Amino acid sequence: MKIIDILQTKFNNEFLQKDIISLNEEWSLYSVIKINASIFLGWLENDDLLIVNVDGVFLYDIRNKDFIMEDYESDFKKNLSTNNLHYSLKDRNEIIDVFGLRGGGGNLLTVDNKWNLEIVNIYNGYRIPKLTNYRTRQSWFFKLQDISYEGYLYCGFSKTQNYFVLFGDQGVNIFKKTNIE
């Protein structure tokens, strides 16, 4: 079943009044990471991204859009806190808040209370990411790149809140504020 078929069967819902788009005036798609079976993610202080999947532990350099570390041998559990909320990255002497299948939820609200992220379950496991501007009350439903609307989806803003991520079991979509370099 396609998303549009589901949306058309749901009468009087907000999805019928909004288009599923890939960007808005202040955010744009920045990068797509094709990595399967992510278990959790976490943002480092400099906005680099920790990705842990069934294959290993990876560090993604946000500015260069490239992996700077790939560790296929690491047992991620030894660096994950017992409550699944923090990961100790010893190489950088940094404790990272993590979210995903193991971990908590991502940061869903910017510090200035302007932007809010959420994943909306529209029908029987079909989920659409939603970005809302609290000041204007306008919302956008994002078109995903190389990620399915089925299955799990997680999202969260980076530490600087210049980026946010949407990820599921087929990959990662990173969005960036359009007014930063």
Each residue of 78-130: pLDDT tens digit? 899 999 999 998 888 999 999 998 888 899 999 999 999 999 887 777 788 88
Amino acid (one-letter) located at 172: V
Backbone angles phi, psi at 27, to 5 degrees: -130, 145
Structure tokens at 135: 């000041």
Q: Output the CA angle 165-166-172, nearest 5 degrees.
A: 85
pTM confidence score: 0.86
C-alpha to C-alpha distance for 31 and 62, rounded to whole angstroms: 9
Cα 60 vs. chain centroid, distance in angstroms? 14
Each residue of 146-170: pLDDT tens digit? 888 888 899 999 999 999 999 988 8
Structure tokens at 55: 């294959």
